[in-house]
Structure 1
Amino acid sequence: MSLVDREMPQVVMTPDNIRSRRFPLVANLLVAVVAFAVSAVVVLTTGIGNWVLVIVLGGVLYLAGLNFAAGRVEGKRAARNRMWQAAIHTACLLAVLPLASVIWTLISKGAGRLDGDFFGTSMANIGARDANGGAYHAIVGTLEQVGIATLFAVPLGVLGAIYLVEYGRGRFAGTIRFFVDVMTGIPSIVAGLFVLSFWVLVVSKWFNDGNPEYSGFAASLALTVLMLPTIVRSTEEMLRLVPGPLREGSYALGVPQWKTILKIVLPTAAPGIVTGVMLAVARAAGETAPVLLVAGGLARINFDPFSGGQASLALYVYQQAADASKFAPARAWTAALTLVALVLILTIAAKLLARRNKLTR
């Protein structure tokens, strides 16, 4: 036996030192039940809050109790790890609860008017005592306005992001990034006022015998202003995530830069770009102030976005929620559910189209 073998202690592996003690799931659940029970007793008996405070205080007591109880069984390090795992799971649950609550509220309150009359008629000649009336005109307006805005914003936003990532250098590119960041936080009503003062009150007079005219196209311009910064920033980040060796390999084969961007960079970043575009579309579809300022919000159907006012689903929800009719709230909830479903369908369709690209698989 060598000197090293004599100095190294011989460790015999037994079941006792292979397996560490684990905090059982039943005890974990017991700690949670006790924590929320104590929280309910303290909050409700003293009258210092409602069920929201019960949940918050119960969560704090649960984490503290879990750290103490698990520390007795597993040790301080394992107990601290278990406590932070529980905190992360709790935060995830709290983040999902509002979304689940919104979806459940929309479905439960909006399903009552999901009928052919709602999707096939408008609010023309509908009085306060009429139970009928639908959102067909608002659906048409939303599709046209958001569609035109998407046709404007997507090419401009993607090309702007390509310039910032692939070509932009120096102060000019930095200035563009600065203004894009500023536009990201611009209030929607400011975009509506800009289009109102520029397009409705000035440019539209040239096409309407000197009279300003509200139109769905004006609303599309306002929505374009709101969509552009989101598309530019999201596309820029996705293009930066494309690995450099892909570009270098293309350049090494003699492929010019514009074709490398078109054939390699953009297809690789397509799923992320589509996600950013759909976020912008969702924001545009839910805007109310720009449509109210520059489109007017008619109660009748108007298929022409370039002439006459138009409504949108978001504006329809706002108008029906403020209406004094007892039938208006049901129409507002159904229109909100329709708007969410429309955005969801468009997002799923865009994701499926992006996944068909071979370079993104």
Structure 2
Amino acid sequence: MSTVVTHKRPSSLRGANLPKWAPWAIAAGSLAVAVGIGLAAGLHSRIQWGLIAAILYVLGTYVVATAVEGKRQAKDRVATSLVWVSFLIAVVPLASLVWATVERGTKVLNGYFLTHSMGVVGDREPGGGIYHAIIGSLEQVGLATLIAAPIGVFTAIYLVEYGRGNLARAVTFFVDVMTGIPSIVAGLFILSIMLIFEMQPFGFAGSLALAILMMPVVVRSTEEMLKLVPNELREASLALGVPKWRTILKVVLPTAIGGITTGIMLAVARIAGETAPVLLLVFGNPFINNNPFEGAQASLPLYIYQQYSQSAGAEPAYDRAWAASLTLIAFVMILNLLARGIARWKAPKTGR
């Protein structure tokens, strides 16, 4: 027997490729040219330098890739470079905001600041803290969650499991409308009811407005999570003779509980920073008020607004506003991390 040996020729379809360090080199060159253009043109803003560098990076990527790899591969690299530029444009302002808040907010952020209220301390005087605002925010957001979360989850269950016909379409339409309602409108709605009954500002009124803002977010997130539950699970339960309501309670909700909880936590983070409804309905209070159903009450967003509005020529109020902002960002960040942790913990376990 004779063995025929064939030699494979290198494929002629594969052209030249840019080295892996080429994008970094193009980015460095674009940045250097942008700085030179900025200095020559008298542009002192680093933001302008960055925008020029981004444009030069995209153009340079296209020119170099076209010369080495051809137009088709150059278009792919340009699309990739646009994605990276967009990512940096989104991340840089966020990182700058966090850095500025941390730098300015740590001046007075300490144990005393977190455990004392403003009390008799004037807005332009040093001292005071945010304990009363933390209590107010926790109570108002907590009550809003107790109202909005059950209503939102039950509404989503109706739309996914039972909703048919005109009523379901009407509910979906109004949920979409409520999603875009400005926060000030929700506050004015509750304020009009308070004026009818001649009620004074109190914390629970702010909770009602926050619940209105929170409900559509909970409905939408829960609805999407319930739609992700495989129909085979429902059908298997129903085939065993289990009633539909029990199937929803024992099969559908436990399967989607991780996503539902995540949606609720993100909705809580969304309303935690609302200022307009609290300004209209809660009114603010420099003293500690643990009763959200009686009397004016403080909250972190309102505290930040009031301190910053009084900060003209008053360094203590300015520092307190930034410290409260850092506290609020930390609160929202903790909620987001908690939501991610719950989602990962409750994620369906897949066996090998």
With normalisation by structure 2, the TM-score equals 0.90
Change (3 A) 1:54 1:79: same
| C-alpha displacement of 1:243 | 2.0
Change (3 A) 1:329 1:245: same
Name the structure 2 match of 1:332.
321
- SS of the aligned residue for 2:107 comes to helix
Change (3 A) 1:52 1:351: closer
| C-alpha displacement of 1:21 | 3.0
Name the structure 2 match of 1:4.
none
Name the structure 2 match of 1:185.
180
Name the structure 2 match of 1:171.
166
| C-alpha displacement of 1:167 | 0.6
Name the structure 2 match of 1:202.
196
Matched, 1:215 2:202: yes
Matched, 1:162 2:157: yes
Cα deviation, 1:311-342, whole Å, max 9, x if unaligned, reads 10000000011114220111111111111111
Change (3 A) 1:266 1:344: same
d(CA) in 2 for partners of 1:160 and 1:28? 50
- SS of the aligned residue for 1:126 comes to coil
Amino acid aligned to 1:165: V
Matched, 1:341 2:330: yes
Note if contact 1:270-1:360 (Cα within 8 Å) is conserved in structure 2.
no
| C-alpha displacement of 1:293 | 1.0
- SS of the aligned residue for 1:113 comes to coil
Name the structure 1 match of 2:280.
293
Cα deviation, 1:176-209, whole Å, max 9, x if unaligned, reads 11111111111111111111111x2234x5xxxx
Name the structure 1 match of 2:122.
127
Note if contact 2:258-2:347 (Cα within 8 Å) is conserved in structure 1.
no
Answer with 75-84 or 45-54: which moved more: 45-54
Name the structure 1 match of 2:266.
279
Amino acid aligned to 2:196: V
The 5-angstrom pairing of residues 47-86 of structure 1 reads 47=42, 50-86=45-81
Name the structure 2 match of 1:6.
none
Cα deviation, 1:208-267, whole Å, max 9, x if unaligned, reads xxxx22211111111111111111112112212222222222222222211222222222
d(CA) in 2 for partners of 1:98 and 1:253? 55
Change (3 A) 1:346 1:279: closer
Note if contact 2:123-2:307 (Cα within 8 Å) is conserved in structure 1.
no
Change (3 A) 1:54 1:346: closer
- SS of the aligned residue for 1:82 comes to helix
The 5-angstrom pairing of residues 243-322 of structure 1 reads 243-322=230-309
Note if contact 2:261-2:342 (Cα within 8 Å) is conserved in structure 1.
no
Amino acid aligned to 2:229: V
Amino acid aligned to 1:148: L
| C-alpha displacement of 1:359 | 3.7
d(CA) in 2 for partners of 1:71 and 1:238? 45
Name the structure 2 match of 1:31.
26
Q: Where does the alignment leave 5 or more consecutive residues of structure 2 unmatched?
A: none
Matched, 1:231 2:218: yes
Note if contact 1:44-1:50 (Cα within 8 Å) is conserved in structure 2.
no
